[in-house]
Amino acid sequence: MKDYLHIEEVAKRFGETEVLNGISLTIPKGGFVALLGPSGCGKSTLLKIISGLETETAGRIRLAGEWLAGVPAFRRDIGVVFQSYALFPHLSVAENVRFGLDMRHMGRAEADDRVREALALVKLDGLGDRMPRQLSGGQQQRVAIARALAIRPRLLLLDEPLSNLDAILRKSVRVDLRELHDRVGATTVMVTHDQEEAMSMADKVAVMHDGAIEQWGSPEDIYERPATAFIGTFVGNPP
C-alpha cells in the first residue's frame, strides 16, 4: 500500500500555544522514516498523537486503511519505544516483554512463544529471567524494543531511542536497529534531534522546525540540497 501511514494536516495546541501547525506526511508500508529537528519543535507530540497518547486539535491520521480518530491507544496496535526505555524495574525481562500481551488477554502458551520470538529478534535469547537492572543500557533498550515488537505492531514508533546510550554504543546500536528493521519489516517512524542518526538510518527524513515539516526527502537530498538556511545549518551543510 503506497500510503500505509497517512498524516493529514495534523495540528495541536496546548492552551494558547500552537505546537504542531498542519503536519502532512505519507509513509509506505515497510518504510523507515526519521523525524529530525531541534528540541521543542514538536516531534514527541506528533508521535504521541499517532500512538493515541495525545489527541490532535485538527487533522486526521489513517493507518493501514483505518482512520484512527477515536480509536484508543491500546487498539491501534502501535509499538512505542521511549528514550527512557520505561521498563518495569520489578518485573523480569520476559514479564516486561509480555506486558502488552497480557493487556490483550493473550493465552499463556501463545504469549510464551511471542516473548521468545521477540527476545530472539533483538538477540537477547535466554535472558528472559534477568531483571532489568542486571542488563546494560543497550540491552535494556533492546528489551523495550522487544516489548514493542511482541504485539506484532502495525507501526513501530521510536522516540530518541539511542540518546540514553553512550557515544560508542550508539553507533553500533544504530546499525543493529536498522538491521532489525530490515529483518522484521515493521514500518518505523523514529524521532531524533541527531542529524547523523537520521541520515544514516532512515530511507526518508522529515525535517521539523517550529511545529511544521520544513523539508521531506532522502538523506542525500536534505544534505546536498537543504531547502532553507535553517536546515543547511542544522545538518552541517550551511549556505
What DSSP character marks residue 48? Answer: H
* Using rule CB under 6 A, residue 52 touches ligand ADP: no
Residue closer to Mg ion, measured from CB, 34 or 111: 34
Largest CA distance in the chain: 59
Where does this chain touch ligand ADP (CB under 6 A) — which range of 33-41, 60-68, 131-139, 145-153?
Answer: 33-41
- Spell out where the chain has E strands: 5-14, 17-27, 32-36, 58-63, 66-67, 78-81, 155-159, 188-192, 204-209, 212-217
Binding ligand ADP by CB under 6 A: which of 10, 25, 32, 44?
Answer: 44
Number of residues that bind Mg ion (CB under 5 A): 1
- C-alpha cell recorded at residue 27: 509513509
- C-alpha cell recorded at residue 121: 529478534
Binding ligand ADP by CB under 6 A: which of 7, 10, 19, 146?
Answer: 19
* Using rule CB under 6 A, residue 39 touches ligand ADP: yes
Number of residues that bind ligand ADP (CB under 6 A): 10
- DSSP-derived secondary structure for 131-191: -GGGS-HHHHHHHHHHHHHHT--SEEEEESTTTTS-HHHHHHHHHHHHHHHHHH---EEEE
Question: If contact means CB under 5 to 8 A according to the sort of partner, which of ligand ADP, Mg ion, none does residue 52 touch?
Answer: none
Give every CB contact of residue 62 below 8 A, 6+ residues apart in sequence. Answer: 3, 5, 6, 8, 68
Binding ligand ADP by CB under 6 A: which of 23, 27, 33, 41?
Answer: 41
Residue with cell 526505555: 85
- C-alpha cell recorded at residue 237: 551543510
Residue closer to ligand ADP, measured from CB, 43 or 114: 43
Binding Mg ion by CB under 5 A: which of 5, 10, 44, 202?
Answer: 44
Binding ligand ADP by CB under 6 A: which of 1, 9, 40, 224?
Answer: 40
* Using rule CB under 6 A, residue 187 touches ligand ADP: no
Where does this chain touch ligand ADP (CB under 6 A) — which range of 41-49, 84-92, 112-120, 161-169?
Answer: 41-49
The least distance separating Mg ion from the CB of residue 81, rounded to whole angstroms, comes to: 13
Q: Cα separations (Å) of 126 from 71, 101, 222?
A: 36, 19, 42
The least distance separating ligand ADP from the CB of residue 22, rounded to whole angstroms, comes to: 15
Binding ligand ADP by CB under 6 A: which of 32, 33, 45, 51?
Answer: 45
* Using rule CB under 6 A, residue 137 touches ligand ADP: no
Question: Would you call 44 helix, strand, or coil by DSSP?
Answer: helix
Chain contacts with ligand ADP (rule: CB under 6 A): 14, 19, 37, 39-45
Site of interaction with Mg ion (CB under 5 A): 44
